Amino acid sequence: MRAIIQRVSSASVTIDGEVTGSIGVGYLILLGVSKTDTDEEARRLWSKISKLRLFSDEEGKTNLSLHDIGGSVLVVSQFTLYANCKKGNRPSFTDAGLPDEANRLYEAFLALARTDLGDACVAHGSFGAEMQVELVNNGPFTILLDTDTL
């Protein structure tokens, strides 16, 4: 699994002109699932994200986690994180997970986040939908995580 984590002041996702998920302070997580990922990768990735200390303390050091600040997450599926642009100019997505299994793992990741943070602190997009994502990146602060290198 791959995730781009952006520390945000706010973020939202809109589908067909309707805002379907929004958060205040927290993380926008763009989540990609590969064809070899399992529930174990979802657990490892959420465990790492939930413990990341990306928020500033009173001294301006990044020492605070989502839990410490009472933050939220907006999780958006993003199979394009597995784009392979090695050949030609059109990306290949053969490393991305097949839709049914990728959706199952996306939902499993959401369930882990809800269990950890509570339903009210977890917003999301819709797997496979055409979405517009808006965010105010606080920093900017953006991290790329890949379970192959965690």
List Cβ neighbours of 87 (8 Å cut-off, separation of 6 or more). none
- Active-site residue identified among 36, 38, 55, 78: 78
Measure the CA angle with vertex 15, ends 133 and 39; round to 5°: 75
| 80 classed as catalytic | yes
Which member of 6, 36, 62, 79 is catalytic? 79
**6 flagged as catalytic:** no
Residue with tokens 């979405």: 131
Could you say which of 36, 80, 132, 142 is catalytic?
Answer: 80
Is 78 marked active-site? yes
Cβ neighbours of residue 39 closer than 8 Å, sequence gap 6 or more: 105, 108
Residue numbers annotated as active site: 78-80
